[in-house]
Amino acid sequence: ATPTALLVGTGRGAQLGILIKGPEVLESTRAVDTVVLDKTGTVTAGKMSLTDLYGDDETEVLRLAAAVEHASEHPIARAIVAAAEERLGELPPVDGFRAVEGLGVLGEVEGKTVLAGRPALLQQHGIAVGDGYSQVKAAAEDRGATAVVVAWDGETRGVVVVADTVKPTSAEAVAELKALGLRPVLLTGDNTGSANTVAAEVGIDEVIAEVLPADKVDVVKRLQAEGRVVAMVGDGVNDAAALAQADLGLSMGTGTDAAIEAGDLTLVRGDLRAAADAIRLSRRTLGTIK
């Protein structure tokens, strides 16, 4: 394509709410055949809220989980802290806070070591989750929610369930991507049950779940090694490497700076339909001129 056509395409993109890093980006967009979509914050709103509490002392489960989550920026942590502050007021301080990427958090609260996260995090500390809480967790995940297992003093004490909602435009966006001949893939660190529920809701057949943040980039590489030309859409810090690795990185304008910096295109309004607009724009821009 001529530089002029590319510049015109770039200008048209801005009108559609698509910021394009450079005119050459439109060239790489045209060949894309696979669109990898991050789940949380991309397909879903990324705003979680507390839905259920389990444990012998539910209030204590919420209070101690929230105290340790207070130091985390994760959407799951924000939901737990918001619910706890609303119901219980001020939370006790946490010492020695540590976030384990893709697994959860731990720290000292009132002299107890409190852990909140996936069962694997507890298991790493020699704590068993138990059948009862495992069932509670599985049932929550079947509903599309995320279950955080909470332990202190070396024992599992309860489960906090948080849920996100699918953005109203996501299903339509997936339908548009499919109509353009693209294969959508849902990629997430979240559990398989929740990922499958969200995928079914928006019409995605291919799901890759329980992927650690550092491994998202490897999933993109693996798809590329299969000969697929991959666009990746994401919003989080944990998506940045995958966005950079993809043949085309699309970041949500509502997401983190790290994602926006790593992407080639920014979907300003955080509306997934703009991803389909971007592909259409590039095909049109490059199709009209030889």
Interface positions with ligand ADP (CB under 6 A): 39-40, 69, 72, 74, 76-77, 102-105, 116-118, 146, 148, 188-190, 213, 236, 238
Nearest distance in Å: CB 207, ligand ADP: 12
| Residue 253 and residue 266 in contact, taking contact as beta carbons nearer than 8 Å | yes
Q: How far apart are CA 242 and CA 239, in angstroms?
A: 5
The set of residues, in sequence order, having a beta carbon less than 8 Å from that of 225 and lying 6+ positions away, is: none
Give which of 195, 180, 153 is closest to 278, Cα–Cα. Answer: 180
Give the nearest distance from C-beta 187 to ligand ADP in angstroms: 8
CA-angle at 103, arms to 102 and 108, nearest 5°: 130
Annotated active-site residue 38? The verdict is yes
- Beta partners for residue 252, in sequence order: 267
Which residue of the set 33, 38, 190, 235 is catalytic? 38
Handedness of CA 78, 79, 80, 84 (dihedral sign): positive
| Partner whose binding site includes residue 103, from ligand ADP, Mg ion, none (CB under 5 to 8 Å by kind) | ligand ADP
Tell me which of Mg ion, ligand ADP, none is bound by residue 72, counting a contact when its beta carbon lies within the kind-specific cut-off of 5 to 8 angstroms. ligand ADP
Quote the tokens at residue 38.
Answer: 């991050």
For ligand ADP, the nearest residue by Cβ is: 189
Site of tokens 């090694």? 225
C-beta of 211: minimal distance to Mg ion in Å?
Answer: 12
Which two tokens mark 188? 């997430």
Partner that binds at residue 69, options ligand ADP, Mg ion, none, CB closer than 5 to 8 Å by kind? ligand ADP
Is residue 198 a contact partner of residue 144, using CB atoms and an 8 Å limit?
Answer: yes
From candidates 40, 72, 191, 266, binder to Mg ion by CB under 5 A: 40
Rounded to the nearest whole angstrom, what is the least distance from the CB of residue 118 to ligand ADP in the complex?
5
The answer to whether the CB of 88 falls within 8 A of the CB of 70 is no
Q: How many CB atoms lie within 10 A of CB 101?
A: 11
Q: Can you tell me which of 10, 38, 118, 199 binds Mg ion, judged by CB under 5 A? A: 38
Q: Which does 105 bind (CB under 5 to 8 A by kind): ligand ADP, Mg ion, none?
A: ligand ADP
Nearer to ligand ADP, 33 or 60 (CB): 60
Q: Closest distance between Mg ion and the C-beta of residue 74, in Å? A: 10
Pick from Mg ion, ligand ADP, none: which does 145 bind, CB < 5 to 8 A by kind?
Answer: none
Return the active site residues.
Answer: 38
Q: Applying CB under 5 A, which residues contact Mg ion?
A: 38, 40-41, 235-236
